[in-house]
């Protein structure tokens, strides 16, 4: 009996030793820090910065959606550090937003915005007014009258503009992104970067080439995430305007040395959408869709990191989405990167 107990204890402790000493092959955490950027804010003079609806403001909605997104991300991915660029109603400069993202070495930058469309202008015939006028001079002067059309001018909200759009920076801004990558060198913050890249002199051509590779990778990742976000919006019945390259620069998108997207959550100028954007349910749905997309993105990154792993991360891209990604990467390839000279 004693012998048997001894054996069991021995076996047990042996296995315990084995368990504690067997290196657990845990995959590297692909997303450590996510930056959430609530667009706009209250300016120093007390005014709202951003678009305006009939009763609400873009900056208020951006903050409310961002707060819900932060809460959902923290709850779903407690291991990820979440940083807010604008935690209060007050505006934060674009430069400061980029600084916060870069100094915290974010792995992802998600900016939350609300879209707007100018109202439709109408001109309606209201009636005619009789106008008196004169012809001729002196004795020939004659009083005449004529009817003049009177118009009523008014505007109505542009109800055709609705739905979501998710942007990545335009390929023509790839050079700026590359500069941000070079200046902030996010690759040097990676685990075992020396093993991966060796000793790198930030002024060397090798380092510049590496920044370029990194910029391309960020472009591809941003394009992928933006498509995932739009797919989630479509699943809950939003009208998805798809994933697009921002033609007029959203400076923060290219000033952040990490994959970055800008989500236009809906049109504040569309009465139905203004109501949705201001409702708690709508905000929760938006935050939930983005959280799910981040989940798909994590799975996709993990699959890229370990292609052998059996994870169902394949998100089928529609033909147009695949084309967007291809055209974006091609534009990056053909970009001259004027500031980047690989010769010494």
Nearest distance from C-beta of residue 226 to Zn ion, angstroms: 16
Q: Least distance (Å) from Zn ion to the CB of residue 42?
A: 14
Reading phi first (left if > 0) and then psi (alpha if -120 to 50, else beta), residue 292 is in alpha
Find the shortest distance in angstroms from Cβ 71 to Zn ion: 22
CB of 251 vs Zn ion, minimal distance in Å: 12
Taking CB under 5 A as the criterion, the residue among 38, 39, 283, 292 binding Zn ion is 39
Tell me which residues in 222-281 interact with Zn ion (CB under 5 A): none
- Using CB under 5 A, which of the segments 39-47, 236-244, 292-300, 325-333 binds Zn ion? 39-47
Cβ nearer to Zn ion, comparing 112 with 208: 112
- Residue 248 Cβ vs Zn ion, minimum distance, rounded to whole Å: 12
Binding-site size, Zn ion (CB under 5 A): 2
Nearest in space to 60 (alpha carbons), one of 98, 36, 95, 88: 88
Stretch that binds Zn ion, among 3-11, 28-36, 107-115, 292-300 (CB under 5 A): 107-115
Closest Cα to residue 181, out of 253, 256, 251, 110? 256
- CA quadruple 39, 41, 43, 47: dihedral positive or negative? positive
At 91 the three-state DSSP class reads: coil
Only one of the segments 38-46, 118-126, 167-175, 217-225 lies at the binding site for Zn ion (rule: CB under 5 A); that segment is 38-46
Taking the complex as a whole, the smallest distance from the CB of residue 80 to Zn ion amounts, in Å, to 25
Q: Which residue is nearest to Zn ion (CB)?
A: 113
Phi/psi at 6 (nearest 5 deg)? -60, -45
DSSP letters spanning 297-342: HHHHHHHHH-TTS------PPPHHHHHHHHHHHHHHHH---TT---
Euclidean distance between CA atoms 254 and 181, whole angstroms: 9
DSSP of 118-160, one letter per residue?
PPEEEEEEEEEEEEEEEESSGGG-EEEEEEEEEEEEEEE--TT
* Of 208 and 287, CB closest to Zn ion: 287
Quote the DSSP letter at residue 28. P
Residue 36 near residue 110, CB atoms below 8 Å: yes
Nearer residue to Zn ion within complex by CB, 35 or 298: 35
Part of the chain binding Zn ion (CB under 5 A), chosen from 31-39, 77-85, 86-94, 319-327: 31-39
Query: Closer to Zn ion at the Cβ: 273 or 302?
Result: 273
Among the listed ranges 15-23, 108-116, 212-220, 330-338, the one in contact with Zn ion (CB under 5 A) is 108-116
Based on the shown chain and the rule CB under 5 A, indicate whether residue 113 belongs to the binding site for Zn ion.
Answer: yes
CA atoms within 13 A on the CB side of 324: 24
Q: Would you count residue 162 as binding Zn ion (CB under 5 A)? A: no
Other C-beta atoms lying within 10 Å of the C-beta of residue 341 = 9
Least distance to Zn ion from the beta carbon of 310, Å? 41
Distance of alpha carbon 291 from alpha carbon 35, whole angstroms: 13
Q: Judged by CB under 5 A, which stretch of 19-27, 36-44, 119-127, 230-238 contacts Zn ion?
A: 36-44
Pick 267 or 297: Cβ nearer Zn ion: 267
**Smallest gap from residue 62 Cβ to Zn ion (A):** 7
Token pair recorded at residue 5 = 């107990």
| Alpha-helix residue ranges (DSSP H) falling in the chain | 2-21, 58-76, 94-103, 174-184, 193-197, 205-235, 251-255, 271-278, 280-305, 319-334
Smallest distance, Å, CB 266 to Zn ion? 12
Nearer to Zn ion, 39 or 170 (CB): 39
**Closest to Zn ion by CB, 39 or 157:** 39
Q: Where on the chain is the footprint of Zn ion (CB under 5 A)?
A: 39, 113
């Amino acid at each position: 009996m004693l012998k048997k107990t001894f054996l069991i204890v021995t076996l047990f402790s042996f296995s315990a030793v084995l368990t504690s000493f067997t290196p657990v092959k845990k995959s590297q955490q692909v997303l450590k820090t996510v930056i959430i950027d609530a667009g706009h804010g209250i300016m120093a003079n007390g005014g709202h910065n951003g678009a305006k609806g009939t009763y609400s403001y873009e900056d208020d909605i951006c903050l409310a959606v961002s707060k819900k997104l932060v809460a959902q991300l923290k709850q779903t991915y407690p291991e990820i550090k979440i940083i807010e660029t604008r935690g209060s109603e007050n505006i934060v400069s674009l430069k400061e937003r980029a600084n916060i993202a870069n100094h915290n070495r974010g792995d992802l930058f998600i900016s939350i915005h609300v879209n707007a469309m100018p109202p439709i202008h109408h001109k309606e015939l209201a009636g005619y007014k009789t106008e008196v006028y004169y012809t001729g001079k002196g004795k020939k002067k004659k009083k005449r009258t004529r009817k003049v059309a009177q118009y009523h001018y008014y505007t109505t909200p542009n109800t055709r503009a609705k739905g979501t759009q998710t942007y990545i920076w335009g390929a023509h801004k790839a050079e700026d992104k590359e500069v941000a990558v070079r200046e902030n060198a996010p690759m040097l913050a990676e685990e075992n970067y020396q093993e991966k890249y060796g000793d790198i002199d930030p002024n060397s051509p090798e380092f510049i080439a590496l920044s370029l590779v990194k910029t391309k990778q960020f472009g591809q990742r941003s394009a992928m995430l933006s498509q995932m976000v739009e797919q989630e919006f479509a699943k809950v019945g939003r009208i998805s305007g798809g994933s697009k390259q921002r033609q007029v620069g959203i400076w923060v998108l290219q000033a952040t040395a990490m994959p970055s997207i800008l989500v236009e959550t809906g049109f504040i100028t569309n009465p139905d959408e203004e109501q949705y954007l201001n409702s708690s349910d709508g905000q929760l749905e938006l935050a939930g869709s983005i959280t799910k997309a981040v989940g798909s993105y994590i799975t996709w990154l993990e699959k890229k990191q370990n292609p052998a792993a059996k994870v169902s991360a394949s998100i089928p891209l529609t033909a147009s989405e695949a084309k967007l990604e291809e055209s974006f990467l091609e534009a990056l390839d053909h970009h001259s990167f004027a500031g980047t000279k690989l010769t010494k």
